[in-house]
Structure 1
Amino acid sequence: MMGDFIYRAFCWDDLPVLVEMLNRAAEVDHEESRYTVEMLRHQFEMPDFSPENNVLVVTTPEGQMVGSGLIRLMFGMGRGWGSCVVAPEYRQQGIGTRLIRLGDARILELCDGAVEANTPIHVRRAFMEPNPGCEALFESEGYRLIRYFYKMRISLDVPLEPPAFPEGITLRPFDRERDSMAVYEAEMDAFSEHWGFLRMPYESWEHTLMVPDRFDPTLWLIAWDGDEVAGMSLNRRWGDDQPELAWVDVLCVGRPWRKRGLGAALLNQSFYLFQQRGYTLAGLNVDADNTTNAVSLYERVGMHVHSRQAFYRKVLRGREEDIQD
């Protein structure tokens, strides 16, 4: 049953109502993130993203918002990302199915003429487990499970001490004007061999990390070896909905500095810093099949798996075996 609903393009006047609906849906979908109007506005102002062209809202004939879908092409042609949310009280009425189909069609439209004929076009979607309704919907629309990501946590209830760092490595306060480009290049290089990596333009990287009310450069730890960035832990507060939680947005070590304990030192220094600032919990996201065995490192420093996110993919054109992850 598809229902008598209206599917239309997003307009900026929708923003407060969309935030309220997303947060209500998150309560029942095991999603920890909660939006504010400022946060979602910042996300929609991402360089090279047009919410008026890439976000749909669904309303009743009376104008009540009951769903929303978003798509975007990633930073390499042929790969898309899609998400859709339906208000809890309006589920099982075909809204999610139509949003997925409209989103997939939009990705094909955006790629038409812009992607070489022999390049596969595919789209990824994800949900936090457990969500049997979303799982059934994805599979009914031809999506296939391809990956898991973990959210890991640690309690900071035991007094901590700052760790020792490998010889020759120093921490210096992050200066946005002086250090941003070096940190960006180091992060891109460190993650270049990871699953799903696409080099993000600098402007998008800066926009993604420097979110209003969450960006705090005094929580960023940049490890230097002379004038080279050896590694980093780019940290932030989670948000007002969980004020006790600090978050490690990015943790990486450059290839020349691996296997020396720098990753563990950066994590433990982050935990120490969080505790000094009054946080009692810390967390991060990690690919469950990370090529550098990051999950084992996080478990060694005392973290545990808190929740799991399932990633699905559908090939819209071409062959799955030709996709380069």
Structure 2
Amino acid sequence: MSNALPEGFTLRPATLDDVPAIYGLFQSHERALYGYTDKFLASVQVPYSSPTLDLAEQTCLVFDQAGRLVGSMLLEQSMYTTFSVTICVFPPEPGSHVNHYLLRLAVSKARTLMAQAQPGVQVTLDSWVSSLDQESLQCYEMAGFQEVRRNWRMEIELNGRPASPTWPEGVVLRPFVPERDDHAVFEMIERAFRDHWGHSPEDFAEWRHWAIEQVGFDPSLYHIAWVGDQPIGGALCSTGPVGWINTLAVAREWRGRGVGLALLQHAFGAFYRRGLRRVSLSVDTQNLTGATRLYQRAGMRKTREYLFLQKELLIGIPPLAK
């Protein structure tokens, strides 16, 4: 496979002004795979506007001979030990080698940046790829990536008014007020996901960037369950082409008591009242809390599958174990 782009193709780092074009690229790619797209603008705008992202060093756009955007690469990192690459190429032109070029570029940039990692720590490069995207899957396999686990997109069609939630005794739902509740909710979510595979401690400012400063943030779609003055669960949602549950978290000591199901049903009801009839979320198929079973019990079904692929760049102690 050639290391060069085809003659006449050009590349440059992305800017925030490119976000609409990158969003359109993802929409075209998604339509080609599934026949429709329900991509949220925030899913592109949030990572590209992250205060921790160096656009000049961690992004790349590829344009064809006519100046059309045909490829994008975004390289995110945590502690310079866990890198994540998102690549989108459309249209799929096997002769263009754009996918391979961008993946090689991401690996090269990650190897350069990992010099800033703590000594002795394992360094990995990860990516999520649709199970239908065979061209990309072959590209990652050729680059030495291996499948680690899978995620499902799960959805429910709200053909009628959803069932009303039943809350455990002592649990109440209160409106989310960002300046008042954001720290407490952030800490509850961090504790709830501490035992989730691959979870890295998140910085509050980074969480606030995607959770509160995102495009279209609506605090009335953040459904938080409280016991006294302590949050014990929450469904953080957003709206777009579909209703989306970004985060569903329940404190460990409250699991198995119906809080998760009640939060789901409450969220379904909130979307239904807004006229949205399809609700989606993403879930790790090997989630230790049995989340897939909970979602199936709530009436959701699998509609898409994504493979989590990983390449080890440096052997060492996993970051959270050191």
- The question of 1:86 aligning with 2:86 is answered no
- The question of 1:104 aligning with 2:107 is answered yes
Return closer, same or farther for 1:307/1:18 CA change in 2, 3 Å cut-off.
closer
Q: Which runs of 5+ in 1 are unaligned?
A: none
Counterpart of 2:127?
125
Shift in Å, 1:125: 0.9
Give the partner amino acid of 1:218. Answer: S
User: C-alpha deviations, 1:196-244, integer Å up to 9, x for none?
Assistant: 101111111111123554321112111001111111111111x1xx2xx
1:265 to 255, 262, 266: 262
CA distance in 1 between partners of 2:163 and 2:40 (Å): 34
- The question of 1:216 aligning with 2:218 is answered yes
**Does the 8 Å CA contact 1:150/1:287 hold for their aligned counterparts?**
yes
Q: Indicate the percent of aligned positions where both proteins have the same amino acid.
A: 28
CA distance in 2 between partners of 1:110 and 1:47 (Å): 17
CA distance in 1 between partners of 2:237 and 2:287 (Å): 20
Give RMSD over aligned pairs. 2.2
Shift in Å, 1:273: 2.0
**Does the 8 Å CA contact 1:22/1:35 hold for their aligned counterparts?**
no
- The question of 1:292 aligning with 2:297 is answered no
Give the partner amino acid of 2:194. Answer: S
Give the partner amino acid of 2:178. Answer: R
**Does the 8 Å CA contact 1:123/1:316 hold for their aligned counterparts?**
yes
User: C-alpha deviations, 1:80-135, integer Å up to 9, x for none?
Assistant: 000112221544421111111111110111111x2234212110011122111111
Task: Report the secondary structure of 2:126's partner residue.
Answer: strand
CA distance in 1 between partners of 2:22 and 2:153 (Å): 25
Q: TM-score, normalised by structure 1?
A: 0.90
Give the partner amino acid of 1:246. Answer: G
Counterpart of 1:172?
174
Return closer, same or farther for 1:213/1:15 CA change in 2, 3 Å cut-off.
closer
**Does the 8 Å CA contact 2:16/2:48 hold for their aligned counterparts?**
no
Counterpart of 2:51?
47
**Does the 8 Å CA contact 2:19/2:48 hold for their aligned counterparts?**
no
Shift in Å, 1:318: 1.3
User: C-alpha deviations, 1:58-94, integer Å up to 9, x for none?
Assistant: 12355333212111212x3311000112221544421
Task: Report the secondary structure of 1:214's partner residue.
Answer: coil
CA distance in 1 between partners of 2:50 and 2:281 (Å): 22
Counterpart of 1:203?
205
Shift in Å, 1:302: 1.1
- 1:266-281 equivalences under 5 Å are 266-281=263-278
User: C-alpha deviations, 1:26-61, integer Å up to 9, x for none?
Assistant: 22134845354x764443221211222211111235
**Does the 8 Å CA contact 2:27/2:37 hold for their aligned counterparts?**
no
CA distance in 2 between partners of 1:281 and 1:14 (Å): 29
1:95 to 82, 93, 98: 98
CA distance in 1 between partners of 2:20 and 2:225 (Å): 40
Counterpart of 1:34?
39
CA distance in 1 between partners of 2:45 and 2:283 (Å): 26
**Does the 8 Å CA contact 1:108/1:121 hold for their aligned counterparts?**
no
Aligned pairs, number? 316
